[in-house]
Amino acid sequence: MQNLSAVKILHLDTNHTLLWEQLEQAGFTNEADFISTKQEVENKIENYHGIVIRSRFKIDANFIDKAKNLQFIARVGAGLESIDCDYALSKNINLIAAPEGNRNAVGEHALGMILSLFNKLNNADKEVKSGHWNRESNRGSELDGKTVGIIGYGNMGKSFAKKLRGFEVEVLCYDILPNVGDENAKQVSLHELQQKADVLSLHIPWTPETDKMVNAEFINQFEKPFWFINTARGKSVVTADLVAALQSGKVLGAGLDVLEYEKLSFETLFEGEKPKAFEYLLQANNVLLTPHIAGWTFESKEKLAQVIVDKILKMYRTT
């Protein structure tokens, strides 16, 4: 095993303290830089063997070229879309992510969104606090008896399906990988899912294949009006097309933890002027919005850090 004291790790974002502490206890040399610009980090990155980052900036080919001694990039999160993965792998740089760390949080959040939308909890709460006691207009729907369709059946999709076991629902899943269905969800074709689903929940990464996937054509292929949940990536949805479907009744309601307009850092919302489609989402009573927090719990913060530590240690123990 490599002498770990010779391995210098640069931490570019704050994380749970256990990440730093356990790496230090294992013998690694930790350094932190939470304020330098990307260019300033590039100027010194050749001095480091590992990077720990959340979503502060994109790690592109130019950055990787300057990181001449880099052995790994660890992202404390589920996805790696902020990293030029193909180029990093071509340079023999190990890529580490932690989808296991926040899958439970995402599953719970998706379920919470469905129950809130079905029972109009956000609207009813707002009305009561405004002095209105409207019972009939806030009559809800029950999840039992519905068919829930999950697109993307990896860590997040499986966690969500497991949460649904307490309900009398049919759970269908679609994934580009074969044979991922289990006791919690039946794997079907995309066509069958679109024919049967009353609820659609996305649990897919953002890739060229999933970019703008949920558009007017995709939505109109559903046989029935449906409820839509997105705790995955905002850029997989064409918001203007979703709004049109909400206005027509094709989409009965939407729970959106992520938005098309988010910057890649996920820390701020708008890349430019506030779009008209977003103005509609802000006013719609059947739309529930949260600020990319589905995987953002106190428990997941610790779990994410622990998964990253474990994977870094495993990497060096096997080299």
The two tokens of residue 60 are 């592109």
Selecting among 292, 299, 302, 317, the annotated active-site residue is: 292
pLDDT of residue 90: 96
What's the average model confidence in pLDDT over 54-80?
93
- The H or E element that residue 216 is part of is helix 216-220
Q: Are 44 and 87 in contact (CB under 8 A)?
A: no
* pTM for the whole structure: 0.91
State the Cα angle at 96 between 17 and 50, rounded to 5°.
70
**Ramachandran area for residue 73 (φ above 0: left; ψ -120 to 50: alpha; else beta):** beta
Cβ count near 307 (within 10 Å): 21
pLDDT band at 81 (very low <50, low <70, confident <90, very high): confident
> Is 292 one of the catalytic residues?
yes
3-state helix/strand/coil string of 95-140? EECCHHHHHHHHHHHHHHHHHHHHCCHHHHHHHHHCCCCCCHHHCC
| Separation of alpha carbons 93 and 53, rounded Å | 15
Residue for token digits 């059946």? 153
pLDDT tens for each residue of 270-302: 556 778 999 999 999 999 999 999 999 999 999
Q: What is the pLDDT of residues 240-261, one digit of tens each?
A: 999 999 999 999 999 999 999 8
Angle between helices 239-248 and 276-283 in degrees, nearest 10: 40
Q: What is the pLDDT of residue 267?
A: 62
Cβ-based neighbour number of residue 208 at 10 Å? 5
The residue from 273, 279, 299, 317 that is catalytic is 273
Which residue in the list 56, 233, 260, 262 is annotated as catalytic?
233
What pLDDT, on a 0 to 100 scale, did the predictor assign at position 270? 59
* Annotation says 273 is catalytic: yes
Contact 67, 10 (CB under 8 A): no
Task: Render pLDDT for 197-237 as a digit per residue (tens, 0 to 9).
Answer: 999 999 999 989 999 999 999 999 999 999 999 999 999 99
Lowest mean pLDDT among 111-120, 219-228, 263-272: 263-272
Q: What are the structural domains of the chain?
A: 4-97 (3.40.50.720), 101-289 (3.40.50.720)
Residue by residue, DSSP assigns 38-52 as HHHHHTTGGG-SEEE
Q: Is 209 a catalytic residue?
A: no
